[in-house]
């Protein structure tokens, strides 16, 4: 790949890294992985295929990581294990111990594609991609919770400051506790570079202020649908600035987005996304936007 790098959240996505769930998800023990009672692996696979068809229909080219029965059920959430800049990629370090091996899978992909690896997080550093949002191409926001920490932000700054990128950390709350997945992108989904779908009660106050100061337009996701979906109603993926993909069943959230000028495509995501705590953004790692 001679073109790579994604430092925006909603420009038209042309290349994306994904992993179709296979034997690893079929063999997953839901208790071990913190999947809930909606989990149904066969149904999840079918729902994933419908999701992947929507990505294909958007025109984006999908690069596939294989699931060769490595037991990494969460590796389908490709967003989390690496960060791709125009200067090269950074394999991250996972906060969830069961996911420790995933960044090495991404590293192998980058090496095979000839995408330079900018560096590696080390020691105590932790950052998961779901905790990162490009506010603009020079500013990366990171949620600091159970999955990402200050040392991770420090090391990202060391790798990215030389390329004119500043990384800002914001403390996330306890919410569902250590075993649950609460990322920064669980409470903010950019729909365009300046319009975000948000769940205000869980957004760090200092970050809220910053978003207001730079003029981000907020579309509030209805509270009852946030609760009913375990937060997955606002996990929506823009394939371009006027179109996004969300899971089905949350008409008020959909209507709020449509009223703001975004077209919406849906797929059934209960057995896959609501069950496994990750939605359309988590299932994709945009390589080029």
Ligand X SMILES: NC(=[NH2+])NCCC[C@H](N)C(=O)O
- Residues at the interface with ligand X (CB under 6 A): 74, 77, 79-80, 96, 99, 130, 181, 183, 185-186, 276-278, 282
- Nearer of residues 270 and 277 to ligand X, judged by Cβ: 277
Distance separating alpha carbons of residues 61 and 27, to the nearest angstrom:
28
- Nearer of residues 11 and 235 to ligand X, judged by Cβ: 235
How many CB atoms neighbour CB 6 within 10 A? Answer: 23
- Nearer of residues 29 and 213 to ligand X, judged by Cβ: 29
- Backbone φ and ψ of 223, nearest 5°: -55, -45
> What is the nearest approach in angstroms of ligand X to the Cβ of residue 273?
9
> What is the nearest approach in angstroms of ligand X to the Cβ of residue 279?
7
- Nearer of residues 28 and 167 to ligand X, judged by Cβ: 28
> What is the nearest approach in angstroms of ligand X to the Cβ of residue 218?
20
> What is the nearest approach in angstroms of ligand X to the Cβ of residue 241?
21
> What is the nearest approach in angstroms of ligand X to the Cβ of residue 283?
8
Closest CA to 152 of 175, 180, 132, 133: 132
- Nearer of residues 27 and 112 to ligand X, judged by Cβ: 27
- Nearer of residues 115 and 184 to ligand X, judged by Cβ: 184
> What is the nearest approach in angstroms of ligand X to the Cβ of residue 187?
10
């Amino acid at each position: 790949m001679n073109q790579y790098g994604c430092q925006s959240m909603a420009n038209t996505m042309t290349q994306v890294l994904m992993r179709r769930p296979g034997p690893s998800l079929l063999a997953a023990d839901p208790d071990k992985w913190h999947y809930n009672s909606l989990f149904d692996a066969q149904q999840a696979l079918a729902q994933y295929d419908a999701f992947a068809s929507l990505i294909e229909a958007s025109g984006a080219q999908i690069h596939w990581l294989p699931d060769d029965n490595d037991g990494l059920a969460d590796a389908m959430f490709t967003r989390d294990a690496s960060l791709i800049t125009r200067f090269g990629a950074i394999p991250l370090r996972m906060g969830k111990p069961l996911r420790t091996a995933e960044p090495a899978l991404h590293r192998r992909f980058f090496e095979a594609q000839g995408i330079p690896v900018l560096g590696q997080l080390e020691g105590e550093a932790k950052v998961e991609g779901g905790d990162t949002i490009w506010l603009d191409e020079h500013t990366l926001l990171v949620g600091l919770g159970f999955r990402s920490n200050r040392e991770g932000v420090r090391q990202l700054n060391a790798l990215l400051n030389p390329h004119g990128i500043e990384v800002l950390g914001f403390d996330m709350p306890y919410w569902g506790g250590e075993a649950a997945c609460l990322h920064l992108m669980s409470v903010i989904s950019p729909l365009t570079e300046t319009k975000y779908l948000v769940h205000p009660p869980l957004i760090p106050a200092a970050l809220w202020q910053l978003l207001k100061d730079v003029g981000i337009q907020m579309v509030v996701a209805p509270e009852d649908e946030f609760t009913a979906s375990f937060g997955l109603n606002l996990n929506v993926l823009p394939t371009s600035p006027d179109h996004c993909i969300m899971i089905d069943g949350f008409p008020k959230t959909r209507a709020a987005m449509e009223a703001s000028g975004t077209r919406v495509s849906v797929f059934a995501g209960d057995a896959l996304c609501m069950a496994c705590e990750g939605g359309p953004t988590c299932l994709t790692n945009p390589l080029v936007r």
